[in-house]
Amino acid sequence: MRSKILIALLLVAVLVLTGCRHRNEPVADPAQEPQGEIAAKPSAGEPQPGEEPEEPLLPMMETSLSDYPLSTPTDDILVLVNKTHPVTRDYVADDLVTVEHCDQSVGNKDTKKMRKVAADAIEELIAGAKEDGFDIVMRTGYRSYDYQDYLFSSYAANYGEAEANTYSARPGQSEHQTGWCCDVGRPGYGLTSFDGTKEADWIAENCWKYGFILRYPADKTDITGYIYESWHIRYVGKDAAQYIYENGLTLEEYLGILD
């Protein structure tokens, strides 16, 4: 009898320890899930998609795809794409080029692309970081509507649509479809492990010099509709980036569009 109790206690201890270790592991990156082609969706029981916020979520604006009309974005570098300014399914920028310094293990050949001007700027940023002693790579740039559809569906299946929509865009509502933004990271590390690193600090302090802004600041979640993302930067050109940085704005505030 006593040995059975001991075995039961041992089992509980092993389970607890295994659970703890799992929580401390780098969070998986959703962009790593589909390798090349869109892969099978993770089963609902598995917490595969990353970016799971550990802190309690602030109330976020939840939208459905029918709430706002879809439009085709202009070529303006300040074009706004968010939950209230979604884009059409077939929109693809016509000057997407592959970024050389990207994490080869993430996403597919399309997600390694950005619009030409932004791709040149991210290469300059990566070189600038290197000069300062920081190793930074581009993880995902362009995402097609269908790729975003896959990512969002994966999150929604695991965490429910409302929660998924606080950190993942619905298809059409992702800035990634414009080719003007990207997620950056440290080579070999998961997306969310970027938070609190020296590299993340460097990005926050210096990305404006290369024409990028931190698109989803920690204190602006009520405006952007998304949780803080230390890794997501958006190209807006050097003048706008400097102004936005120096005045602590979001793109929505800079453009005067708050809805």
Q: Does 29 bind Zn ion (CB under 5 A)?
A: no
Residue nearest to Zn ion (CB): 232
Q: In the complex, what is the shortest distance from the CB of residue 176 to Zn ion, in angstroms, rounded to a whole number?
A: 6
Q: In the complex, what is the shortest distance from the CB of residue 225 to Zn ion, in angstroms, rounded to a whole number?
A: 13
Q: Which among 175, 198, 15 is positioned nearest to 82, based on CA atoms?
A: 175
Query: 213-242: which residues touch Zn ion (CB under 5 A)?
Result: 232
Q: In the complex, what is the shortest distance from the CB of residue 121 to Zn ion, in angstroms, rounded to a whole number?
A: 16
Residue 105 dihedral angles phi and psi, to the nearest 5°: -85, 0
Residue 94, CB half-sphere, CA atoms under 13 Å: how many?
4
**Nearer CB in complex with Zn ion: 18/98:** 98
Of the candidate spans 30-38, 46-54, 83-91, 180-188, the one that interacts with Zn ion by CB under 5 A turns out to be 180-188
| DSSP classification of residue 75 | S
**Nearer CB in complex with Zn ion: 83/232:** 232
How many residues touch Zn ion (CB under 5 A)?
2
Q: In the complex, what is the shortest distance from the CB of residue 140 to Zn ion, in angstroms, rounded to a whole number?
A: 7
| Cα distance between residue 114 and residue 180, in whole Å | 6
| Cα distance between residue 108 and residue 120, in whole Å | 20
**Active-site residue set:** 229
Rounded to the nearest 10 degrees, the angle between the axes of helix 198-206 and helix 116-131 is 120
Q: Which of 183, 199, 224, 230 binds Zn ion (CB under 5 A)?
A: 183
Q: Does 103 bind Zn ion (CB under 5 A)?
A: no
Dihedral sign for Cα 248, 252, 253, 254, please: positive
Binding site for Zn ion (CB under 5 A): 183, 232
